[in-house]
Structure 1
């Protein structure tokens, strides 16, 4: 099945309770078109799970995030094939890094050797055509609703923050299909849900709110979307996030100082014990006990 050309044509509209797309959306030529197709197949209340690589955690780190204006243009043009510019961008980023693939695979990404066969290979889903961080992808979803393309409610999400060793290279959103309504209302609800999920989860770095606000502002400007009230709403949450981050840092500093005080007190007690008469008198006894251990 080719999602760009066929979508989910074999599936009836509003017939599914759920769709899972794990490491899929970054490979397609027309992400908004594919997401809209997922929405078509879902009934109202149905869930869409999107698992996407976090560009900051993968070999995509040197690449610029795919802006909403780019994917919007591809949707309007009904793009069905990965363009050569995206392939070259990916290969340039991969080949310019320290080797992470076997030599043979690495050669596939040599931007100076992208002949017709290799371009065809990469068009068959071998590359990340699009790249995002969680904040940038959230902005994409909001902008798609402001554009009237889709209607979703954010049910839940996870980031690499939720893994203690921070080795996860992906993030995930669970979206619920909802009826079309005022784009600004849908966008505001999504922003509110996203921001509160970050603020209410102590495992998540609240600085993400500022990154989200920045991504939303950039996407709206590049796509000429008039959403100043929504951007101000996101900025308010970003300020709350920065305040929360500062409070968390202050709490950590207080705990560190308390630990330092407790350590100093323990050292002082140990030194006092060493200087005490009882410690000196019992020294021979302790030496004998050590002999019989």
Structure 2
């Protein structure tokens, strides 16, 4: 029996299930589940838009052709699914709050939503700033249905100024100096990482969305990158359960409490994650009584366990978080300075010349 966190979290999803964006490898769910697939058709076909995938297995045949940005899931009735899987999907959409709200709509009460998301600190997004809740909130309120040019440009600059990860032709599509109307259309077809989150920042987005009344979720389970084998350790996942609105307004608080308890119960999870969560919620403007729950829960757990240095440990973690934030900022600034420097541009140019010479 598999003990992979990916498989274990997926096997708890049963009944009538929808997977959005399955690619060529559908997510593992309960063997008794009845799964339907929804995906976005790409004008011109896969190989023309993704030459780096030529020769790879074809994608799963979709039961529903959908464009989450422009239409959501219009073919599907509200409350019609017991489970929904979206693996490496939500970071690509123009309006993530609208899409999560659409996922919420098509699930029945008690239905489960599995969101698997790349951890920005462990992918090519590491050089980018995290997406604060204010950005998707503004898009949600404006009814945005298309990825904006600024997001495409930011992503292309981040990708192009890193060691090559694509064939030469594909890499040049990301060249910021060559971006034009046709390239913007191309990147919307290919899709980009429009938004970038850490696990704590994404959990804060879910809490903030609940506070805004967009949805109501209970946290069922989760995993972080450190739970996965090193070769797969680029993502995190949250398994959410749709709950009814009982008018208590306590759901965001319960979500945060559950997140904290699960993190503290897991001996492989560093306590620093709780302060990162608190930091993200404070940045996102979540009510202070909710945003400060992580440090409060940590202190309460510490005292329950009979430890006497609780405040000192918390202060040490705050110092560590400040150091981490300063290091991230410095790394981004160094990266920007490096990529704009004359010496780097000359070295990059010479590298391209040598590549051409070698053929």
> Structure 1-normalised TM-score?
0.78
Shift of 1:245: 12
Unpaired stretches in structure 1, ≥5 consecutive residues = 248-293
For the pair 1:237 / 2:297, whether they are aligned, the reply is yes
Structure 2: gaps spanning 5 or more residues: 1-65, 303-309, 315-359
Q: Equivalent residue for 1:154?
A: 219
Query: Over the residues paired in the alignment, what is the CA RMSD in angstroms?
Result: 2.3
Would the alpha carbon gap of residues 182 and 216 (structure 1) be closer, same or farther in structure 2, given more than 3 Å must change? farther
Match of 2:356 in 1: none
| 1:130 and 2:195 are equivalent in the alignment | yes
Deviation at 1:238, TM superposition (A): 5.1
Find the counterpart in structure 1 of residue 108 from structure 2: 43
Q: CA separation in 1, counterparts of 2:311 and 2:234?
A: 25
In 2: Cα distance, 1:27 partner to 1:72 partner:
16
Separation in 2 of the partners of 1:241 and 1:215? 21
Name 1:251's counterpart in structure 2: none
1:166 deviates by 7.0
Distance (Å, rounded) in 1 between the aligned partners of 2:301 and 2:249: 22
> Where does residue 59 of structure 1 map in the other structure?
124
Partner deviation per Cα, 1:47-89 (whole Å, 9 max, x = no partner): 0000110000000001111111110111111110000010011
Q: Distance in 2 between matches of 1:240 and 1:63?
A: 35
Corresponding residue of 1:257: none
- 8 A Cα contact 1:69 1:219, kept in partner: yes
Equivalent residue for 2:210? 145
The Cα shift of 1:246 comes to: 5.8
Q: Which whole-Å CA distance do the structure 1 matches of 2:137 and 2:160 have between them?
A: 28
Match of 2:174 among 109, 133, 136: 109
Task: For residue 203 of structure 1, report the CA deviation from its aligned partner.
Answer: 1.5
Residue 145 (structure 2) aligned to one of 80, 88, 91: 80
182 and 111 in structure 1: CA distance in 2 versus 1, 3 angstrom threshold: farther
Q: Is the 8 A contact 1:30 1:79 kept in 2?
A: yes
After the TM superposition, which of the residue ranges 95-104 and 82-91 deviates more from structure 2?
95-104
Q: Which has the higher helix share?
A: 1
Structure 1 residue runs of 4+, over 4 Å off?
238-247
Question: SS at 1:50's partner residue?
Answer: strand
- Alignment CA distance shift 1:144-1:112 (3 Å): same
- 1:126 CA displacement: 2.4
- Aligned equivalents of 1:245, 1:135: Cα separation in 2: 23
**What SS is found at the alignment partner of 2:279?**
helix
Shift of the alpha carbon at 1:177? 0.4
The residue aligned with 1:4 is 69
